[in-house]
Amino acid sequence: KRPAGAPDAKLARPVTKVGVVGAGLMAGQFALLFARLLLVPVVMTDIDAARVDKGVAYVHGEVDKLLAKGRISPDAANRTRALVTGSVSKEAFADADFVIEAVFEELTVKKQVFAEVEAIVSPECILATNTSSLSVTAMAEDLKHPERLVGFHFFNPVAVMPLLEIVRAPKTDDAVLATAFATAKSLRKTAVLVKDAAAFVVNRVLLRLMGEVFAAFDEGTDAHTADNALRPMGLPMTPFTLLAMVGLPVAQHVTESMHEAFGERIAVSANLQALIDAGRKGLWETAEDGSQSVPADTLALLT
Ligand code: 3HC
């Protein structure tokens, strides 16, 4: 059955090579998926060789884990490793037909990346953004071919989260959208078409919930109490565990975009900002016995 709002699948174009801009954790997770399930070459780029090497090494490490668990055959592991390569130059995208970015969550940065990519790729190459909350319409504004841009939003951890939000901007072409849906299907994701609105759907819901935890936390509720308050509601992870996985700066950027769009309905947390400014990766420290506590120097940062 065709997903709601998806164009005719017959319009989908083949994807034979994927380019990934940004070799961070999110990018590495979906680079692996593209190589494993689309069976096409995937080239990752970043601003320096160290980042590129780290990204490729992450993918190879994940392949090793799948192999050790018996989830893939030795042949598939070798093939997947060989398919994922890195380059410091976007020239490596010259023959790609699907380029996806997962760079810093800032509109000007993403626009700059797409301008550079557009100068290299063919006019038919699809450009996709994994943005969590930014306007895909604004991102397409200065493109020579705005019809080729589509939102392709994965969730963390990519390997296990089944959902993918596909975002259509006003100029997104039907063939581009059909290719995005076909690609999502090949990646075994459940794709939903969402409107290009701040934080789309999932983050909009998630941040309303997280926002209340932040607010309680900012108002002086003990962090442990605020975080655990939602446990009985059957959440798979407490908000601050989820935050550490997603990354505090990403969560704060999503919150800020939503605050801009929805005003007081979404509170930007001063305490969360204090943790980010101090370079903290999360709130909790986990001891060897699995028990969690907030380190004293982290507590000292909080108001
Ligand atoms: N990377 C790769 N695989 C992972 C993983 C990761 N980070 N975390 C878990 N897995 C795998 C495990 O290896 C395991 O695989 P296996 O069956 O082959 O051994 C499988 O997932 C299940 O893991 P667990 O046994 O640890 O299962 P849990 O029951 O603890 O579930 C979870 C793990 C699915 C991550 C669950 O805790 C969960 O759903 N958490 C909430 C995640 C969530 O809400 N994500 C959305 C965040 S918002 C976002 O990403 C949007 C962005 O824009 C900010």
Exposure b/e, 112-149, CB count within 10 A at least 16 = b: ebbeebbebbeeebbbbbbbbbbbbbebbeebebbbbb
Residues 67, 171, single domain; the answer is yes
Residues 147, 242, single domain; the answer is no
pLDDT at 210: 84
Residues 178, 221, single domain; the answer is no
pLDDT at 190: 97
Task: Report the distance separating Cα 149 and Cα 74, nearest Å.
Answer: 36
Does the pLDDT value for residue 224 go beyond 80?
A: no
Does the pLDDT value for residue 112 go beyond 80?
A: yes
Residues 247, 171, single domain; the answer is no
Task: Give φ, ψ of 46 to 5 degrees.
Answer: -155, -175
Copy the structure tokens of residue 217.
């936390």
Range 229-245 average pLDDT: 85
Question: Tens of pLDDT along 119-152?
Answer: 999 999 999 999 999 999 999 999 999 999 999 9
Among 276, 283, 213, 280, which residue's Cα sits nearest to residue 249?
A: 276
Number of domains in the chain: 2
pLDDT at 276: 94
Does the pLDDT value for residue 231 go beyond 80?
A: no
Pocket of ligand 1 (CB under 6 A): 69, 71, 132, 155-157, 159-161, 203, 206, 236-237, 242, 246, 250, 254
What residue owns the CA closest to ligand 1's atom 51? 155
Range 145-162 average pLDDT: 97
Does the pLDDT value for residue 223 go beyond 80?
A: no
pLDDT at 228: 80
Q: Indicate the pLDDT class of residue 21, thresholds 50, 70 and 90.
A: very high
What is the overall mean pLDDT for the chain? 93
Q: Is residue 4 part of a domain?
A: no
Q: How far does residue 244's CA lie from ligand 1's centre (Å)?
A: 13
What lies within 8 Å, CB to CB, of 128 at 6+ separation is 98, 99, 100, 101, 149, 150, 151, 152, 180
What residue owns the CA closest to ligand 1's atom 6? 157
Residues 277, 231, single domain; the answer is yes
For every residue of 57-88, DSSP letters joined together read HHHHHHHHHHHHTTSS-HHHHHHHHHHEEEES
Domain-ending residue, one of 179, 195, 211? 195
Does the pLDDT value for residue 163 go beyond 90?
A: yes
Q: How far does residue 281's CA lie from ligand 1's centre (Å)?
A: 18
Q: Is residue 2 part of a domain?
A: no
Q: Is residue 279 part of a domain?
A: yes
Range 204-216 average pLDDT: 86
The CATH number for 113's domain is 3.40.50.720
> What is the value of pTM for the model shown?
0.94
Q: Indicate the pLDDT class of residue 19, thresholds 50, 70 and 90.
A: very high
Task: Report the distance separating Cα 76 and Cα 25, nearest Å.
Answer: 22
Residues 136, 248, single domain; the answer is no
Residues 228, 135, single domain; the answer is no
pLDDT at 209: 85
Domain-ending residue, one of 163, 195, 227? 195
pLDDT at 169: 94
Residues 186, 218, single domain; the answer is no
For every residue of 166-198, DSSP letters joined together read EEE-TT--HHHHHHHHHHHHHTT-EEEEEES-T
Q: Is residue 57 part of a domain?
A: yes
Range of the domain at 211: 203-299
Range 230-238 average pLDDT: 83
- The H-or-E segment that residue 99 falls in is strand 98-101
Q: Is residue 1 part of a domain?
A: no
Domain-ending residue, one of 195, 219, 249? 195
Q: How far does residue 25's CA lie from ligand 1's centre (Å)?
A: 14
Residues 103, 22, single domain; the answer is yes
Q: Is residue 20 part of a domain?
A: yes
What ligand 1 atom has the least distance to the C-alpha of 69?
18
pLDDT at 208: 86
Residues 176, 293, single domain; the answer is no
pLDDT at 295: 86
The CATH number for 278's domain is 1.10.1040.10
pLDDT at 214: 83
Residues 118, 231, single domain; the answer is no
Q: Is residue 132 part of a domain?
A: yes
pLDDT at 229: 79
Question: Tens of pLDDT along 248-284?
Answer: 998 999 999 999 999 988 889 999 999 999 999 888 8
Enzyme catalytic residues: 153
Q: Indicate the pLDDT class of residue 52, thresholds 50, 70 and 90.
A: very high
Q: Is residue 291 part of a domain?
A: yes
Could you tell me what percent of the chain has a pLDDT over 90?
74
Residues 153, 112, single domain; the answer is yes
Question: Tens of pLDDT along 188-198?
Answer: 999 999 999 99
Of 71-80, 232-241, 250-259, the least confident? 232-241
pLDDT at 94: 98
